[in-house]
Amino acid sequence: MKVTPRNVTGLVDALVDTGFVERGPHPTDRRATLVSLTERGTKTMAAMDREHQALAALLFDDMPDRAAFECGLDHLLGRLRDATA
């Protein structure tokens, strides 16, 4: 994720505080903590996935030459990755 452990801790703290995830013990490593979605988190993620799928369908389902578009987009993303590496 290219962030510090402290940054991740802060993000998880915020997700716990808002009820999206919960921390629990790791079953075999007492030094580790597992982070799991709560019911609220699971419902939110499902809604976000549905919305993402609907937007993708709206934008791309009737695209005339989708394969060419995907090829061009892959090329562009590769160039962006190279430029920011």
The model's confidence at residue 2, banded by pLDDT at 50, 70 and 90, is: confident
Query: Where does 5-84 sit in CATH, by number?
Result: 1.10.10.10
H-helix or E-strand containing 71? helix 66-84
Residue 8, token pair as written in the block: 């991740």
Name residue 33's beta-bridge partners.
25
Determine if residue 2 is left, alpha or beta; phi over 0 gives left, psi from -120 to 50 gives alpha, anything else beta: left
Is 1's pLDDT higher than 90? no
Domain ranges of the chain: 5-84
Q: Report the SS3 class of residue 21.
A: strand
- Read off the pTM: 0.72
Q: What confidence tens digit (pLDDT) does each residue in 27-44 have?
A: 999 999 999 999 999 999
